[in-house]
Amino acid sequence: EAGVTQFPSHSVIEKGQTVTLRCDPISGHDNLYWYRRVMGKEIKFLLHFVKESKQDESGMPNNRFLAERTGGTYSTLKVQPAELEDSGVYFCASSQDGSGILGETQYFGPGTRLLVL
Amino acid sequence: GDSVTQMEGPVTLSEEAFLTINCTYTATGYPSLFWYVQYPGEGLQLLLKATKADDKGSNKGFEATYRKETTSFHLEKGSVQVSDSAVYFCALRHTGNQFYFGTGTSLTVIP
């Protein structure tokens, strides 16, 4: 079974440009999550999809970030326009059951390393 | 709010040394606690978890015990190997579906 995949693995862009990150969850997983790790700091939650609906987007930093999950399969996270402080590693995770069972496992992708110059 | 504090790295150990990575948390009620590991070039992988007080999670020789009285979930391994070199993240999950992670601790094991 394929794991969570993310594309691209690395992205280097200039301030003011637009970048789109993609996440393909494990097949059959209705729940998809985005997280971000800024250099040297903790991994922080951005948002949670259940199928194509945004269940919780309380972690999105501002309106320059737009996440979509059309059709309830893969998801994209667009940053427009990118700022220097957006640099970091963006992780995607998926899970089968997001019913709130606290021990449920989320499966993480390898992350996309974004550098904004 | 909920948060996790873990031991800052980097940590460098010789092979077969004893490992402890400290993790404490702040949360109301009874969160579930996790250790995730990220090997070079790979995604985060669940290493072990504990869902209630006094539970011990274990996997691949690693152990951590959920201590409610000290709000801790320290990671231990009796004899580390070079292949254990990775970044280790402590995390909690409380109400809702999001995780709260620590800053990560980088471990390097030298032969």
**What pLDDT does B72 receive?**
96
**What pLDDT does A103 receive?**
58
From chain A, the residues in CB contact with B93 under 8 A are: 102
Work out the minimum CA distance from B13 to partner chain A, whole angstroms: 21
- How confident is residue A81, by pLDDT bands cut at 50, 70 and 90? very high
List of residues 6+ apart from A49 with CB closer than 8 A: A31, A32, A33, A55, A67, A69, A72, A75
Work out the minimum CA distance from B30 to partner chain A, whole angstroms: 10
Task: Verify whether the Cβ–Cβ distance B97 to A55 is below 8 Å.
Answer: yes
Residue B19 to residues A4, B8, B37, B76: CA-CA distances in angstroms? 30, 14, 14, 5
Work out the minimum CA distance from B110 to partner chain A, whole angstroms: 23
DSSP H helices, chain B, are none
Work out the average pLDDT over B68-93: 96
Give the torsion through C-alpha atoms of A82, A93, B62, B68, to 10 deg. 90
Question: What residues in chain B have their Cβ under 8 A from chain A's Cβ atoms?
Answer: 4, 31-32, 36, 41-46, 49, 51, 89, 91, 93-104
- How confident is residue A98, by pLDDT bands cut at 50, 70 and 90? low
CB atoms within 10 A of CB B53: 12
B22's tokens: 């400290």
From chain A, the residues in CB contact with B51 under 8 A are: 102-103
